[in-house]
Amino acid sequence: MRTPIRILILATIVMLVGVGSASARISNAPGDEITNGAQLYDRWYALPGISTPDGNNPIWERQATNTRSGADTWRCSECHGWDYKGSEGMYASGSHATGFPNVMKLATSMSNAEIVSHLKGSKDPSHDFSKYLDDTNLEKLARFLKEDLIDDSSSVDPITLKVTAGDAVHGKQLFETTCANCHGEDGKLLVFRTEGVNEYIGSVAKRDPYRFLHRTRFGVAGTEMPIGRELGWKPSDGVDVLAYAQSLPTGTEKEPVANAGAGSKSSPAMGGPQGGILGGMLTGISVLFGMFGMSAFFLFGLVVIGILIVWALRKRN
Ligand code: HEC
Ligand code: HEC
Q: 186 and 214: one domain?
A: yes
In order along its 317 residues, the chain shows pLDDT tens digits of 455 566 555 555 445 444 444 333 333 345 489 999 999 999 999 998 999 999 999 999 999 999 999 999 999 999 999 999 999 999 999 999 999 999 999 999 999 999 999 999 999 999 999 999 999 999 999 999 999 999 999 999 999 999 999 999 999 999 999 999 999 999 999 999 888 889 999 999 999 999 999 999 999 998 999 999 999 999 999 999 999 999 999 988 755 544 444 433 333 333 333 344 554 555 454 555 555 555 655 666 667 776 666 666 676 54
Centre of ligand 1 from the C-alpha of residue 81, in Å: 11
User: What's the pLDDT score for residue 198?
Assistant: 92
Residue 253: what pLDDT?
Answer: 77
> In whole angstroms, what is the distance from residue 242 CA to residue 201 CA?
9
Ligand 2: does its nearest atom lie under 6 Å from the Cβ of 229?
A: no
Q: Which ligand has an atom closest to residue 239 CA?
A: 2
Same domain (yes/no): 120, 44: yes
Q: Flag whether 60 is in a domain.
A: yes
- Nearest ligand atom owner, CA of 69: 1
pLDDT at position 194 is: 85
> For residue 205, what is the domain's CATH number?
1.10.760.10
- Would residue 48 count as lying in a domain? yes
Is 309 contained in some domain? no
Closest atom of ligand 2 relative to the 215 alpha carbon: 29
End of a domain among 130, 149, 168? Answer: 149
Q: Which of 126, 149, 172 is the last residue of a domain?
A: 149
Same domain, 113 and 213: no
Structural domain range at position 120:
32-149
For ligand 2, say whether the CB of 215 is within 6 Å of any of its atoms. Answer: yes
Calpha distance 224→155 (Å, rounded): 28
- Tell whether 143 and 37 lie within a shared domain: yes
On whether residue 280 sits in a domain, the answer given is: no
Question: What pLDDT is recorded for position 92?
Answer: 97
Ligand nearest to the CA of 63: 1
Is the CB of residue 85 less than 8 Å from the CB of residue 104?
yes
Q: What letter would DSSP give residue 150?
A: -
Q: What is the dihedral of CA 181, 182, 186, 191, to 10 degrees?
A: 170
- Find the residues whose C-beta lies inside 6 A of ligand 1: 41, 44, 57, 59-60, 73-76, 78-80, 100-101, 103, 106-107, 115, 118-119, 123-124, 127, 129, 141, 145
Predicted pLDDT at 307 = 67
- Measured from the alpha carbon of residue 45, the closest ligand is 1
Indicate the DSSP class of residue 120: B
Give the closest residue (by CA) to ligand 2 atom 35. 216
Dist CA 177 CA 302 (whole Å): 81
Co-location of 119 and 185 in the same domain: no
In a domain, 264, yes or no: no
114 and 139 share a domain? yes
Q: For residues 224 and 190, state if they share a domain.
A: yes
Say if residue 144 is in the same domain as residue 173. Answer: no
- Ligand 1: residue of 62, 67, 80 to mutate (most ligand atoms within 8 A of CB) is 80
3-state secondary structure at position 103: helix
Number of domains in the chain: 2
Cβ neighbours of 99 (radius 10 Å): 14
Residues 50, 130, single domain; the answer is yes
Residue nearest to atom 29 of ligand 2 (CA): 212
> % helix / strand / coil in the chain, to the nearest 5?
60, 5, 35
Q: Do 158 and 214 share a domain, yes or no?
A: yes
How far apart CA 229 and CA 148 sit, in angstroms, is 10
By C-alpha distance, which of 57, 99, 92, 55 is closest to 75? Answer: 57
Query: Is 292 a domain residue?
Result: no
Express each pLDDT in 269-278 by its tens digit: 333 333 445 5
> Do 85 and 102 contact (CB within 8 A), yes or no?
yes
199 part of a folded domain: yes
Among 29, 31, 241, 234, smallest CA distance to 150 is for 234
303 inside domain: no
Q: Say what the pLDDT of residue 1 is.
A: 45
**What pLDDT shows up at residue 291?**
56
Of 149, 176, 197, the residue that ends a domain is 149
**Ligand 2 in reach of 204 Cβ (< 6 A):** yes
Candidates 214, 220, 247: which one to mutate for ligand 2, based on the most atoms within 8 Å of Cβ?
A: 220
- Closest ligand 1 atom, CA of 59? 1
The Å distance, Cα 84 to ligand 1 centre, comes to 11
Q: Give the pLDDT score at 25.
A: 35
User: Residue 20 half-sphere exposure, CB side, CA atoms within 13 Å?
Assistant: 7
Report how far residue 202's alpha carbon sits from residue 268's, in angstroms, rounded to the nearest whole number.
34
Q: What are phi and psi of 193, to 5 degrees?
A: -100, 105
Which string of DSSP letters, residue by residue, matches 20-69?
A: HHHHHHHTT-TT-HHHHHHHHHHHGGGSTT-PPPPS--GGGGG--S----
CB 217 near ligand 2, within 6 Å = no
134 and 38 inside one domain: yes
- Ligand nearest to the Cα of 57, by number: 1
User: What count of other Cβ atoms lies within 10 Å of the Cβ of residue 71?
Assistant: 17
Please check whether residues 144 and 224 belong to one and the same domain.
Answer: no
